[in-house]
Amino acid sequence: MIRGKIFAAAAVPVMAAGVALTAGGSAHAATQSAPPIIGYTVAAFNAHSDSISDVTATFGTPATSVVGSTAVQVPTAAADFVQFGATDSLGAAVTWSSSDLPSGFTLTSAGALTLATAPVKAAVTFTVKAADGSAVAFATVNVGVGASTTPAEDGVSVTPDAVVLNAPANRHGRAFFETVPSGVAETLANGPAGAVFSNDVLSAGTAVPGDYTNVAVTAKDAAGATAVETFDAVVRPVYAPVPRLSGGHAVFITTARENVYYIQSGAPSWDHFTIVGPGAINGHQGWVNGYLGLNTAVYGGLEYHHGYTVFYQPVTGPGSTTPVPGSHWGYVFFVS
């Protein structure tokens, strides 16, 4: 049972009404069932994104960038090399490799690319891969015939390919996973059974409420650039709104009459009342059509300067004493 005191209008002992107050209270002590479940929500917490971004490629001192569509002239002397760099979201070391280096080119795991000592006679293209475990990025390297033979040089341009998964955004009972660039294909792994993952949005679906750890979303583009978001998924039920009564107080009208006011929130309902106190009104019952906001009930036939308690319980309809599942009952005490 959920019970709560709406408000005591006067700090006056109940005196003769004390016994009746106990009886009135027990009359309202119906066991409350939980409100109906009307849906489920899912949220992502404790997210850790593993991605590689900000791929750079420079040569010489001061460093000159070769990233972009325009070829930059790079000397082919052994002392010159193109240095790759990137930012790992977890601060891990990035390892560089290539499976299709042209003859005479070398690439260290630290990302130092040495061109062939002899300038190319025809354009070549190859791919450099950056990896730190689950995260992968690429750089397409285009090496063309240089503009000059003295000193010997090649025209080099680098086009990065990286994917970043932003931190999940919890909105409207769902978790959103946005990528940079947008529109990268995503897959869900180790998610709650029954959950739905579509168009980069995780919905609860028919998942059982609970806490799920090590859930992962992987974003992977057509070339294979990959980012992984690992997080905890929390599935919770959504209950129907229930009536809640608060702010109750009595206002003196005459020695035999009091107006009782209270605020109803959550949901409207019919509110069954029982008044407990001396006189013929003791045990009187009725119903108030409880609207959201301020409600008024009028009680007459009171005995002057006596304590009265009015108990209110949201019920399923007029004439009913069946509590609205999950609702809160309360009371107002006043001295007439």
Return the pLDDT at 329. 83
**Mean pLDDT along residues 257-283:** 95
The pLDDT > 70 percentage for the chain reads 90
pLDDT tens figures, 11-60: 222 222 222 222 333 334 455 678 889 999 999 999 999 999 999 999 98
Q: What is the CATH number of domain 7-36+241-335?
A: 2.60.40.10
Is residue 86 over pLDDT 90?
A: yes
* HEC sequence for 100-148: CCCCCCEECCCCEEECCCCCCCCCEEEEEEEECCCCEEEEEEEEEECCC
Q: Which residue has the higher pLDDT, 5 or 245?
A: 245
Mean pLDDT of the chain: 88
Q: What is the CATH number of domain 39-48+164-239?
A: 2.60.40
Lowest mean pLDDT among 142-151, 193-202, 295-304: 142-151
Give the full edge-to-edge strand order of the sheet including 293-299: 244-254, 257-265, 293-299
Is residue 236 over pLDDT 70?
A: yes
**Mean pLDDT along residues 206-233:** 97
Is residue 170 over pLDDT 50?
A: yes
Rounded CA-CA distance 130/84 in Å is: 9
Return the pLDDT at 32. 63
Burial zone of 304 (CB within 10 Å; 0-12 exposed, 13-18 middle, 19+ buried) = exposed
Domain with CATH 2.60.40.10 in the chain: 7-36+241-335
Q: Is the dihedral of CA 23, 27, 32, 36 positive or negative?
A: negative
pLDDT tens figures, 281-323: 999 999 999 999 999 999 999 999 999 999 999 999 999 999 9
Architecture of domain 50-161: Sandwich (2.60)
Return the pLDDT at 150. 81
pLDDT tier for residue 5 given thresholds of 50, 70 and 90: very low
Q: Under 8 Å CB-to-CB from 35, ≥6 apart: which residues?
A: 239, 240, 241, 242, 324, 325, 326, 327
Lowest mean pLDDT among 17-31, 81-95, 166-180: 17-31
Burial zone of 254 (CB within 10 Å; 0-12 exposed, 13-18 middle, 19+ buried) = exposed
Is residue 279 over pLDDT 80?
A: yes
**pTM for the predicted model, two decimal places:** 0.74
Residues making up the chain, counted from first to last? 336
pLDDT tier for residue 78 given thresholds of 50, 70 and 90: low
